[in-house]
Amino acid sequence: MDYIELAKTYEELEKNSSRLSKTYILAKFFEKTKKENIEHLTYLLQGLVFPIWDDRKLGFSNQLALKAISQAYGISPEKVENEWKKLGDLGTVAEIFAKNKKQKTLFSKKLDTEKVFKNLRELATLEGQGTVNKKLSLVAELLTSSNPLEAKYIIRTILNQLRIGIGEGTLRDGIVWAYLPKLEKISSEGYDKLKQGKKKKISSINEIDYNVDILDTDDEKTAREIYNYFIDKVQNKYDLCNDFSLITSKISQKGIKGLDEIKLQVGLPIQVMLPIRIEKIEEAFEALGNKIQLEDKLDGFRVQIHYNGKEFKLFTRNLENVTKQFAELIPILKDNIKGNNYIVDTEVIGYNPKTKKYVPFQFISQRIKRKYDIEKISKEIPVEIQAFDVIYYNGKSLMQEPLSERRKSLEKTITPSKLKIKCTDILVTDSKEKAEKFYKDKLKKGLEGAVIKKPDSIYTPGRYVAGWVKIKPVLETLDLVIVKAEWGNGKRSNWLTSYTLACQKNEEFLEIGKASTGLKEKKEEGLSFEEMTKILKPLIIKEKGKEAIIKPAIIIEVAFEEIQKSPSYSSGYATRFPRIKRIRWDKSLEDVSDINLVNKIYDFQRGKKK
């Protein structure tokens, strides 16, 4: 496919804010994509060249992009930088200089998506002497062959700043609309032209036939059930592989039956099962039944441990590979977990090497992104593995087995070793009094609360699924993303402070107030303004006076006294007395608290005040 076709699709997606419109655009793009191109084009639509869990990176900074633009168009770096400061987007800068380009180079040729994908992937393989010049050459080669619109999106892709507003849910729906049997009832919601093909009249979900192109029904409820069935099927497979390119490749080759080939695989991280928030122990019994399993809610970070018989891989809940950062755990795993291969779900907790007491998450969060001095920091902030589930063992998926059986398997598999590895403490009970006591005892020990599970629940990857709940003694904190910051005054003049925070709604970010309380002026006291400035500075998109627009990437946990109505922010709400607790390196943008949770907290507060 010519790259200009993809660039035009990017532009169309960027111009349309409606999720329904974006879904339609994606569906039409997938429909015209040839099978042999579908894999790399699905990556490029996401602004990726590798799966999101792959630890290979393009390693292209804003400064390198600036130099590539300068080199490709014969413009001085100073002129490129001045335009960047005015526009705040190097992609738009490249587009402008491409328009002013007097002539194409002698060797330039029409760009296709395969060439762009190949060059971008090669960026991640380069290392050693001369790497910077080689990277510049690869990108400059693409720019000199590109028209202005292509140049814009090439630069945005290498900087991971595509800005076309499609998230996981929109892409999933676009795939369903494009590749799975069409429903005539669904067409009224935007999919207005059904392709010609075999047609079958159906009256219930049980009559689905994957060998026809169009499913026709007179019943709106049936149409909705079938549509949701396909959405759930694609989502479930994505939760297992976290790779939409694999999904589109399988469907384009074999139809919906191809999805059955996507299975749980050691070495590929899955979306972990997450508990739903409750306020009282009674709610746990109402949600889960007469018998429940309680266990510690720990202030660590979630780690999936994968072992394929030869090598270990450790992934956070955000699908980051942290095997190198926690290399000291590998000997522990070898000595204390029996099995030819497995996937074990755990919480990793930091502790003080002198007092042997557990420390808050913020103390170990810095280890997740650490690339240097790993051995040194592992001694300063050692960690303990607390295992609570096993979902694959000795060649067999255990996801469909009840929790009670998985727990037995886990305890047989793990040999405890103090401050190295153990299974979480649990209590299985049908007594509300015993459950309350377990919960309160954990709070006295300084833990966050309790996770409560249904003993016969299967393991269901993903957010907000039934079977697990959590309870904490305080009002729910919010996980918000930083979208703006302000340069400080006086002794804080060199630091970014006063962070504007946002929640999400349908994959868009809505501002919900500002915060800076909780950060320290001295870095030895905890998360500091200096440290936060170093983190945010590379993410600055544009500056106006003292205000800096920040690329949404850094998620922070925020405590607050209450939620208030506020016309000053796009969410319609503001947090009262917000306090920054920590950076959530273990969370992705999909984990940012949504407006529905904010509404729920606001309504809950009103109920308490009455």
Contact 147, 110 (CB under 8 A): no
Distance between CA 34 and CA 533 in Å, rounded?
45
Residue 505 CB burial class (10 angstroms; 0-12, 13-18, ≥19):
middle
Q: Where are the beta strands (DSSP E) in 199-337?
A: 199-201, 214-216, 276-278, 292-297, 301-307, 312-316
427 near 294, Cβ under 8 Å? yes
Tell how far CA 316 is from the center of its chain.
11
d(CA 552, CA 535): 12
Is 491 noted as a catalytic residue in this protein?
no
Other CB atoms within a 10 A radius of the CB of residue 273 amount to 21
CA torsion, points 77, 82, 86, 91, in degrees to nearest 10?
A: -10
Find the DSSP H helices in 159-218. Answer: 168-179
Cα separation values, 27 from 172, 177, 246, 349, 464, Å? 10, 6, 17, 44, 27
Among 150, 144, 129, smallest CA distance to 68 is for 144
Render the burial of 302-339: b for 16+ CB within 10 Å, e for the rest: bbbbbbeeeebbbbbbbbbbbbebbeebeebbeebbeb
Q: Which of 135, 297, 313, 514 is catalytic?
A: 297
Closest CA to 293 of 430, 94, 484: 430
CB burial string 78-113: b at 16+ within 10 A, e below: eebbebbeeebbbbbbbbbbbeebeeeeeeeeebbb
Phi, psi of 520, deg, nearest 5: -110, 155
CA distances from 204 to 173, 221, 223, 229, 520 (A): 21, 9, 8, 12, 60
**CA–CA distance, 168 with 269 (Å, rounded to integer):** 16
- Quote the crossing angle between the two packed helices 148-158 and 113-123, to the nearest 10°: 30
- Beta pairing partners, 200: 215
The alpha carbon of 301 is separated from its chain's Cα centroid by a whole number of angstroms, namely 15
Quote the CA–CA distance of 343 and 226 in Å, as a whole number: 33
What span, in angstroms and rounded, lies between the C-alpha atoms of 368 and 375?
13
500 close to 547: Cβ distance less than 8 angstroms: no
Residue among 407, 357, 415, 410 at smallest CA distance from 382: 357
Radius of gyration for the chain, computed over Cα atoms and rounded to the nearest angstrom: 26
CB 496, CB 507: distance < 8 Å: no
Q: Which residues are catalytic?
A: 297
